[in-house]
């Protein structure tokens, strides 16, 4: 497709109400004069949560939920339509269309209440209604400004496997379908406004890509349509050198690499859905994170090379709602299979492991998981090690929830000597106790565990040490 095609995605807060949608429309209108665009939208913020809650409530047999849902969604979208569309006839036509979608969702909730069962298919259909509504609002807002916005259902573009709730795209089929469906529109200089989060199987059954999946929709379409860039409009200025609540002089990074973005997404900088970069990194399509509330700011660009800097470290991240679990005892020294058993139990508990560390004395294995998963994980571990506990080979399975993981992230840390030394001497000078340390062999990140109370100080002192409050010159 055309060389200069750009994808613009607007997140839930960027289309949070009528005014926000107008702001998004203004951004699209300004960009539309520079070349072809495909827009992807999330549901208005809070809508997907409300839909999913209504679906689950309905499954308990409460038929009243459907009516309540209809009333709230109707009100919210009608208010936005009132603000966005001046002409009474056009507004009425839009509202009728919105009501139809809301009625469908309410109908599915009613059916769910009758059956007292929520099927994964019904949940997909109900939860995807928000994007179908917001796409129509934004398309009509564009029409108001003289740009031919056309709402397009992603079920006609993104082909996925058949896994309800977290479908994966089939890229070849998607490429074919998306090109066939959008070429004509783009030639006519229309701006397709595509529902994020949604796809369909080859047979046309609706699927969803997982919570927060609209970012993923945007990059799937970017790759399928050979876009020149994907711009993700959200409510933050971009990716920062640290969480500004912890470090007031944190800066927006002008450019980071796909690897750095993935590390940062993993370690708490929740700007992007974790799968977002997969479709575009191979093709080297740049992704921008920009603030729709401050469109004059440049944002952060994510590319293959990512503006390498001499200091190596790009950002300091921290996560605190995590727990450190230790499986230990003198009896496990040299005993094979303990690590295997440990992590099988963790997998059975469906807990995601964020960091692992074992000292060479083998006295214990420790790892960090999200605190929400800790009760389940501990009981799986006790079950798995019941025999070893009884025979005192495993002496303890302990949990410490008063901890945080802090990580220094940067591509160019790889092969650079002295970074770990600097990190740990700074922490030493500040009397910050380090509970565990890990570095992946990718060397893109050095992470360590500290007491929760030391997290802020650890992040601040490292941010200072590596001069992250100052602009860094690019090196080759």
Q: Could you tell me the two tokens for 313?
A: 């470290």
In sequence order, the 6+-apart residues with CB closer than 8 A to the CB of 335 are 393
- Which of ligand ASP, Mg ion, none does residue 222 bind to, with CB < 5 to 8 Å depending on kind? none
Which stretch, 116-124, 211-219, 236-244, 351-359, contacts ligand ASP (CB under 6 A)? 211-219
**Closest among 144, 163, 41, 22 to 90, alpha carbons compared:** 144
Judged by CB under 6 A, does residue 407 bind ligand ASP?
Answer: no
Strands 445-451 and 434-439 come out as antiparallel
Q: Is 208 in the site for Mg ion (CB under 5 A)?
A: no
**Nearer Cβ to ligand ASP, position 49 or 228?**
49
Q: Which of 13, 14, 22, 42 binds ligand ASP (CB under 6 A)?
A: 42
CA distance 362 to 230: 47
Q: What is the spatial distance between Cα 238 and Cα 250, in angstroms, rounded to a whole number?
A: 11
CB-wise, 200 or 247, nearer to ligand ASP? 200
- Within 40-59, the residues that bind Mg ion by CB under 5 A are 42
Establish if 169 lies at the interface with Mg ion (CB under 5 A): no
CB-based contact 51:84 (threshold 8 Å): no
The two three-digit tokens of residue 423, written as one number: 């990190």
- CB closer to Mg ion out of 42 and 358: 42
Between 237 and 364, name the residue whose CB sits nearer to Mg ion.
237
Is 259 one of the binding residues for Mg ion (CB under 5 A)? no
Q: Does 222 participate in binding ligand ASP (rule CB under 6 A)?
A: no
- Between CA 195 and CA 461 the distance in angstroms is 43
For the bound state, the minimum distance from the C-beta of residue 357 to Mg ion, rounded and expressed in Å, comes to 33
Residue 133 or 408 having the CB closest to ligand ASP: 133
Task: Note whether 233 binds ligand ASP by CB under 6 A.
Answer: no
Binding to ligand ASP, residues 443-462 (CB under 6 A): none
Both tokens of residue 256? 């980071």
SS3 470: coil
Contact of 28 with 37, CB cutoff 8 Å: yes
Nearer to Mg ion, 165 or 467 (CB): 165
Beta bridge partners of 319: 405
Per-residue contact string for residues 124-163; x = within reach of ligand ASP by CB under 6 A: ------x---------------------------------
State yes or no: residue 196 binds Mg ion (CB under 5 A): no
Answer yes or no whether residue 12 interacts with Mg ion by CB under 5 A: yes
Complex with ligand ASP: residue 195 or 374, whichever CB lies closer: 195
User: Where does this chain bind ligand ASP (CB under 6 A)?
Assistant: 12, 42-43, 48, 130, 196-197, 211-214
């Amino acid at each position: 497709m055309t060389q200069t095609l750009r994808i613009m995605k607007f997140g839930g807060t960027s289309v949070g109400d009528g005014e926000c949608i107008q702001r998004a429309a203004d951004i699209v209108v300004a960009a539309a004069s520079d070349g072809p665009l495909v827009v992807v939208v999330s549901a208005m913020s809070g809508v997907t949560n409300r839909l999913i809650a209504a679906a689950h409530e309905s499954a308990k047999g409460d038929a009243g939920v459907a009516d309540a849902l209809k009333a709230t969604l109707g009100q919210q979208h009608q208010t936005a339509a009132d603000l966005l569309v001046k002409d009474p006839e056009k507004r009425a036509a839009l509202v009728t269309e919105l009501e139809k979608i809301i009625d469908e969702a309410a109908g599915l909730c009613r059916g769910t209440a009758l059956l007292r069962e929520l099927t994964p298919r019904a949940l997909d259909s109900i939860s995807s209604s928000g994007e179908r509504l917001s796409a129509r609002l934004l398309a009509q807002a564009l029409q108001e400004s003289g740009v031919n916005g056309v709402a397009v259902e992603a079920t006609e573009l993104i082909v996925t496997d058949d896994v309800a709730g977290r479908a994966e795209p089939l890229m070849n089929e998607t490429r074919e379908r998306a090109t066939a469906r959008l070429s004509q529109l783009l030639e006519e200089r229309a701006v397709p406004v595509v529902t994020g989060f949604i796809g369909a199987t080859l047979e046309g059954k609706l699927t969803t890509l997982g919570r927060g999946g609209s970012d993923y929709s945007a990059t799937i379409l970017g790759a399928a349509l050979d876009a020149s860039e994907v711009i993700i409009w959200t409510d933050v200025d971009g990716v920062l050198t640290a969480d500004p609540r912890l470090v007031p002089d944190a800066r927006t990074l002008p450019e980071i690499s796909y690897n750095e973005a993935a590390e940062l997404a993993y370690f708490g900088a929740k700007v992007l859905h974790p799968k977002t970069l997969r479709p575009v990194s191979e093709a080297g399509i740049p992704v921008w994170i920009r603030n729709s509330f401050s469109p004059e700011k440049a944002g952060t660009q994510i590319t293959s090379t990512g503006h390498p800097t001499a200091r190596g470290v790009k950002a300091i991240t921290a996560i605190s709602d995590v727990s450190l679990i230790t499986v230990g005892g003198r009896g496990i020294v040299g005993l094979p299979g303990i690590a295997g058993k440990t992590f099988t139990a963790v997998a059975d508990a469906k807990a995601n492991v964020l960091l692992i560390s074992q000292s060479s004395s083998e006295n214990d294995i420790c790892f960090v998981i999200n605190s929400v998963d800790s009760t389940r994980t501990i009981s799986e571990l006790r079950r798995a090690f019941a025999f070893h506990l009884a025979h005192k080979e495993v002496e303890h399975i302990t949990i410490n929830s008063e901890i945080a993981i802090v990580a220094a992230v940067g591509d160019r840390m790889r092969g650079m000597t002295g970074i770990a030394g600097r990190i740990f001497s700074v922490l030493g000078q500040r009397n910050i106790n380090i509970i565990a340390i890990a570095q992946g062999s990718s060397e893109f990140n050095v992470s360590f565990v500290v007491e929760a109370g030391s997290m802020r100080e650890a992040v601040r002192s490292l941010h200072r040490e590596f001069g992250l409050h100052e602009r860094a010159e690019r090196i080759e």
